[in-house]
Amino acid sequence: MSLVMLTLVAPMALKEDLVAAMLAHGPTAQAGFVAREVEGCGDRVAYDSSIERVRGHRLAVEIVVTAPEHDIRSLLDALRAGMAGRDVTWRIAAVTAAGTL
């Protein structure tokens, strides 16, 4: 069982939908996850409004979950079914160690 960390970044307007979808996915709900407000900056940011363009950053939600890779792949499949085309970006990174202090 290889642990991976999935990071999702999406428009803030999708936060509730994403959280609900992740809680509906049993393994993700069991693993738990973190959702927080972040600011996207840079040339590749898709601004939602003129105000964001002037400010130079876009408000977004970042969600991070660590779980076995097969559970993360299953979650991505479920999210693709309901979130395709809604500007949700993702990345998966290997977790070499994790624990509680």
Q: What is the CATH number of the domain that holds 82?
A: 3.30.70.120
* Beta strand spans in 1-101 (E): 3-11, 34-40, 58-68, 89-94
Q: Which residue has the higher pLDDT, 84 or 28?
A: 28
pLDDT at 3: 95
Residue 36 in domain: yes
Give the number of domains in the chain. 1
- Reported pTM: 0.85
pLDDT of residue 57: 66
Sheet holding 58-68, edge to edge: 34-40, 58-68, 3-11, 89-94
Q: Given this model, what pLDDT does residue 15 score?
A: 96
Instruction: Specify the higher pLDDT residue, 40 or 74.
Output: 74
Q: What is the pLDDT of residues 46-66, one digit of tens each?
A: 666 666 665 666 788 999 999
Residue 100 lies in a domain: no
CA distances from 34 to 15, 48, 72, 100 (A): 12, 23, 15, 16
Confirm whether 48 is domain-assigned.
yes
In a domain, 99, yes or no: no
Q: Is residue 31 part of a domain?
A: yes
What is the domain range of residue 77?
3-94
Residue 26 tokens, joined? 């049993």
Q: Which SS3 state, helix, strand or coil, does residue 87 take?
A: coil
CA distance 85 to 4: 24
In a domain, residue 101? The reply is no
